[in-house]
Amino acid sequence: MYYGKIKGLDRKVSRIMVGTAAEPFLSGGDACQILDDAFSLGINTIDTARNYGLAERSVGDWMEKRGNRDAVVILSKCAHPDDYSPRRVSEKDIREDFNVSSGYLRTDHIDIYLLHRDDPSVPAGKVIEIMNSLHEEGKIGIFGASNWSVERILEANTYAEEHGLIPFTVSSPNYCLAHQVTDMWGGGVTITGPENKDVRDWYASGGMPIVAHSPLARGFLTGRVKSGDRQSASVLDSFAEAGFLCDENIERLRRCELMTEKKNCTVAQLSLAWIFSSPMDVYTAISSSSKARMEQNVSALDIILTSQERDYLDLVTDVMP
């Protein structure tokens, strides 16, 4: 396993995190074997959220049984819209989410805390004030945003600098080889595609780490879908179909399939290697219940891709290196 160091956090963070937006986490089921397997491979960071059903309860049960809270890095998220309110970026909602999350997780401190969605009507400086208060109270460590635009992150961090406060230090957008063609969930932000090159350059030059969500395009790049068999895409759920199933992504998948022979790896491994070979400081959250698949994912960290190979996979050039 490879690890990174995120400013403001004492513990190292595994480049691959356990994603919990899947069963048995969502229903609050027993996930001890999954988390034991991940932990045995050096994956010490868990990505969860208040709106991932009862996932935090499954994580809390495991940490309590293993007595390993101090060895685990917890990333959770707050302020996601719900059935009662489409706008929840407020101190009341953020604190309520924290209280529920910390109760399920059986911890009084969340290491990395992210705003799950943005509400542009709320001044970013107000959000910085709220998160700094939680930090000062010892409830959260570092904090940042999931699915916030760079413009809004800059607004927040400019306010923090001007007022001597802690800024956002982590961002979690969608980033993967398959381009997201539809905002499947509402309020999502992707940094993939030529139209987002300036955004990626900003992340690369500024050094703000990203936690890429949906790194395997919600199953499209796991190897279960075959480029030459459109019917194989029936394994995808409606979100994956809406967000990633298009002709250009089918071509990216086909090129992946070709290059796996050259690299002696799987489509999923090559897709992850594409992410990790980015000049940005990248982490990923991946949901997997199979230890063998986890081992393959970890092995992807050792696959080296040149810029020419990355461009070929992303349809920038038609010449396979």
What domains sit in the chain, N to C, each tagged with a CATH number?
3-218+269-305 (3.20.20.100)
**What global pTM score does this model have?**
0.96
Furthest C-alpha separation in the chain: 56
For residues 279 and 204, the answer to whether their CB atoms sit within 8 Å is: yes
CB 227 within 8 Å of CB 251? yes
Q: What angle do CA 100, 215, 293 make, to 5 degrees?
A: 90
Question: Which 8-state DSSP code applies to residue 166?
Answer: -
Buried b (16+ CB within 10 A) or exposed e, 27-62: ebbebeebbebbbebebbbbbbbbbbbbbbbbbbbb
- φ and ψ of 84, to 5 deg: -100, -25
Q: What is the DSSP letter of 158?
A: H
CA dihedral 144, 149, 151, 153 (to 10 degrees): 0
pLDDT tens sequence for the chain (321 residues): 999 999 999 999 999 999 999 999 999 999 999 999 999 999 999 999 999 999 999 999 999 999 999 999 999 999 999 988 889 999 999 999 999 999 999 999 999 999 999 999 999 999 999 999 999 999 999 999 999 999 999 999 999 999 999 999 999 999 999 999 998 888 899 999 999 999 999 999 987 999 999 999 999 999 999 999 989 999 999 999 999 999 999 999 999 999 999 999 999 999 999 999 999 999 999 999 999 999 999 999 999 999 999 999 999 999 988
